Amino acid sequence: MSTPIDPTATAAWSELEAHRESFSPDLRAWFAADPDRVERMSLPLADLHVDLSKNLVTDEVVASLVRLAEETGVAERYAAMLAGEHINTTEDRAVLHTALRRPKGAEPALVVDGQDVDHDVHEVLDRVAAFADRVRSGDWLGVTGERVTDVVNIGIGGSDLGPVMVSEALKPYADAGIRAHFVSNIDPTDLAQKTADLDPGTTLFIVASKTFTTLETLTNARLARDWLWAGLEASGAIDGDEASRTDAVAHHFVAVSTALDKVAGFGIDTENAFGFWDWVGGRYSVDSAIGLSLAIELGPEAFRDLLAGFHAVDEHVRTTPLERNVPVLMGLLNVWYSNLLGSQSHAVLPYAQQLHRFPAYLQQLTMESNGKSVRWDGSPVTTTTGEVFWGEPGTNGQHAFYQLIHQGTRLIPADFIAFVNPAYPLTDDGRDVHGLFLANFLAQTKALAFGKTAEEVEAGGTTGPLVAARTFDGNRPTTSIFAPSLTPSVLGQLIALYEHITFTQGVIWGINSFDQWGVELGKQLALQIAPAIEGDEAALAAQDASTRALLGYYRTHRSG
């Protein structure tokens, strides 16, 4: 286990502290004095155009940030990850989500711990594509002899957030007449509502759980199996004996799991189980077999395009110098804001309704990865780590929380994402609605950067106390990310961009971004509390006073 480099002990950190002490950001003045700022700070990333010019940095600050990446070994750590070194130290695992999107025949071949990773990955991806084609073509039939019209993915965390986000983002590419649905919450409302208008005879369930032991997923899977049996029996499609029930499960359930014994025990044919590996973290798994629902809904070709977009960004990070490396620079900017300028949250604001689940996806990616207080060698961190990621699509957010970003007392860096060409080009009274939408995207970043002075407010006729209320300080940092349109490849590029932003920050802070022990304690305690809910007095007595009181309230008010 290598010892992480303490960022606060580097020369670059001392430079950054010195910059902070004399820092007086003035985007208006910087833009006026530097006509090349926008060109210099606008960078290509595959199909993405990334404008960093409205961030609160000078060339000197950027240079010091790049030196920080050099002195903390960001490039070396990335190379170690790509090579399959066990950089997930607490679980002694390689971290190889980037291998999921390596093209066939990539050189040199990737062999890790004696396994031909390229062969293993493409064997599974080929099986995923072949199965998706069977479902889409109507070759795969349910127990009633009907083709599949609806696919329900049952998973949670990375087995849900990624697929549902991509499904929503790429709906225009769903071309086979198959609807995708996603069940994750153990609240029975989730499954009940998602299956309310489905036909058991034409529904295919995908149970996504690597170990096939995830409490929420397996509970929902059993509920879905009961729903299937009840519906098929009510229609007379099966008679309810064990053999017919087993046959129904084999026709209507598949699994994304490597626990073949448990898959078989559930009743799923292991020929229809698609595996992935312990070097794929859940929040990095959408481009693995976890994307089976997407390959069915969108088609294998669209899924391959998604993977190609991921890979394009992986290659950019691998081959581009740090000073022009977009994900590295954006990660460094986040370090500047959170560690040196005191920001605590980061807004992601897609001007695309299709990306309405993207901020939620990033919450898991960033906050589960970098919400750590110890470094990868077990020592305490030397800086604050992580940010609260949040956001909503524009223009909805403008009418909700933008007030805080514009005129509040907190520094909230924001990423704005937009696309030149809409999925649904519509006009209103002869006007291009998408053009009006993008005018808001451009206006918000302009307003945040440059604000409105008291003199400008007064020049508009406002006087007295209202002047202060209508003054905007500006100097609110934003990054603008533009692309021609939201294609599968572009979406893959966006996801990979934030994966590598997260990676960069984790390396600088010296933390392991690939474990998530913080989620385990609550799971363990839930298993201890469940018997108390079910009436076990000894389990009730073992709880703390507050938990006992809450359980008492539950028992008193639970009906039925």
Catalytic residues: 368, 399, 523
| H helices present in 196-299, as ranges | 215-235, 242-252, 260-266, 292-298
Whether the ω angle into residue 531 lies within 30 degrees of 0, i.e. cis, is no
Whether the ω angle into residue 504 lies within 30 degrees of 0, i.e. cis, is no
CA–CA separation, 72 and 486 (whole Å): 35
Tokens of 448: 């945040």
Residue 7: count of CB within 10 angstroms of its CB? 22
125 Cβ neighbours under 8 A, 6+ residues apart? 289, 307
Percent of the chain as helix, strand, coil, to the nearest 5 = 55, 10, 35
CA 97 to chain centre: 13
Nearest partner of 479 among 35, 22, 45, judged by Cα: 45
Say if CB 194 and CB 180 are below 8 A apart. Answer: no
- Indicate the Cα dihedral angle 446, 447, 451, 453, nearest 10°: 110
Nearest partner of 226 among 202, 265, 191, 256, judged by Cα: 191
CA 2 to chain centre: 28
Say if CB 167 and CB 182 are below 8 A apart. Answer: yes
519 Cβ neighbours under 8 A, 6+ residues apart? 368
Identify the residue whose tokens are 């409490």. 215
CA–CA separation, 259 and 274 (whole Å): 10
Nearest partner of 214 among 269, 156, 260, judged by Cα: 156
Partnered with residue 179 across adjacent β-strands are 150
CA atoms within 13 A on the CB side of 237: 21
What distances in angstroms separate CA 129 from CA 245, 273, 288, one per listed residue?
Answer: 28, 13, 11
CA–CA separation, 82 and 337 (whole Å): 28
Partnered with residue 129 across adjacent β-strands are none
Determine the 3-state secondary structure of 93 from DSSP.
strand
CA–CA separation, 57 and 51 (whole Å): 13
Tokens of 115: 């396994």
CA–CA separation, 542 and 225 (whole Å): 34
Longest dimension (CA), the chain: 82
Partnered with residue 254 across adjacent β-strands are 206
